[in-house]
């Protein structure tokens, strides 16, 4: 094979591999009535948060690190789902605004969780606890107020 043929084959393969990823990311968020898909990751977030607070209070970074990774994973899983409350919105533009707000709020949470992980790696449990108290917990309350169904 000549160089042009190899470049063409490489471009075709790259397109074939990346197209499904692009198309999957371009799909609208699923909207389920009660959205069972969002319940488990949210329960994981809540349970892990409680255990994380205890680990940080004890300055036990070895216990805190796997919890923060679990929270990051749960956050990623929940971020791409639609909160049950979105099913109550019939206007397409308002629903899109609602879902975008939810997703951006979850992205903010992910950023905070990554900051906490970096602090834990550096052995700064007190600073990590401060982010939990000042950002993560208030985010949980405001997120539930805005996006959680009854």
Contact 47, 78 (CB under 8 A): no
Query: Distance between CA 78 and CA 71 in Å, rounded?
Result: 10
Contact 116, 132 (CB under 8 A): yes
Q: What is the pLDDT of residues 28-77, one digit of tens each?
A: 444 434 568 899 999 999 999 999 999 999 999 999 999 999 999 999 99
pLDDT of the residue at 78 = 95
pLDDT of the residue at 48 = 96
pLDDT of the residue at 57 = 95
What's the mean pLDDT in 95-116? 97
Residue 24 located in a structural domain: no
Residue 13 located in a structural domain: no
* Phi, psi dihedrals of residue 28, rounded to the nearest 5°: -65, 155
pLDDT exceeds cutoff 50 at 12? no
Q: Which of 128, 111, 122, 107 shows the shortest CA–CA distance to 58?
A: 128
pLDDT of the residue at 36 = 80
pLDDT of the residue at 93 = 96
Residue 19 located in a structural domain: no
* Count of domains forming the chain: 1
pLDDT of the residue at 4 = 53
Single pTM value for the model: 0.75
Q: Which domain holds residue 93?
A: 36-147
Residue 2 located in a structural domain: no
Contact 54, 73 (CB under 8 A): no
Residue 29 located in a structural domain: no
pLDDT of the residue at 26 = 44
Residue 108 located in a structural domain: yes
Residue 20 located in a structural domain: no
Write a three-state SS string for 87-146: HHCCCHHHHHHHHHHHHHHHHHHHHHHHHHHHHHHCCCHHHHHHHHHHHHHHHHHHHHHH
pLDDT exceeds cutoff 50 at 22? no
Domain harbouring 124, CATH code: 1.20.120.10
What's the mean pLDDT in 97-103? 96
Say which range, 34-43, 90-99, 127-136, has the weakest mean pLDDT.
Answer: 34-43
Residue 63 located in a structural domain: yes
């Amino acid at each position: 094979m000549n160089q042009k043929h190899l470049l063409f084959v490489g471009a075709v393969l790259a397109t074939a591999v990346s197209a499904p990823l692009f198309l999957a990311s371009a799909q609208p968020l699923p909207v389920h009535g009660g959205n069972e898909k969002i319940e488990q990751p949210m329960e994981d977030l809540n349970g892990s948060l409680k255990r994380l607070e205890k680990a940080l209070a004890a300055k036990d970074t070895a216990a805190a690190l796997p919890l923060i990774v679990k929270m990051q994973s749960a956050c990623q899983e929940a971020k791409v789902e639609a909160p049950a409350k979105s099913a109550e919105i019939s206007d397409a533009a308002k629903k899109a605004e609602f879902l975008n707000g939810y997703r951006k709020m979850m992205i903010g949470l992910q950023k905070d969780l990554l900051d906490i992980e970096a602090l834990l790696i550096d052995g700064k449990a007190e600073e990590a606890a401060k982010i939990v108290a000042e950002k993560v917990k208030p985010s949980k309350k405001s997120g539930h107020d805005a996006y959680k169904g009854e």
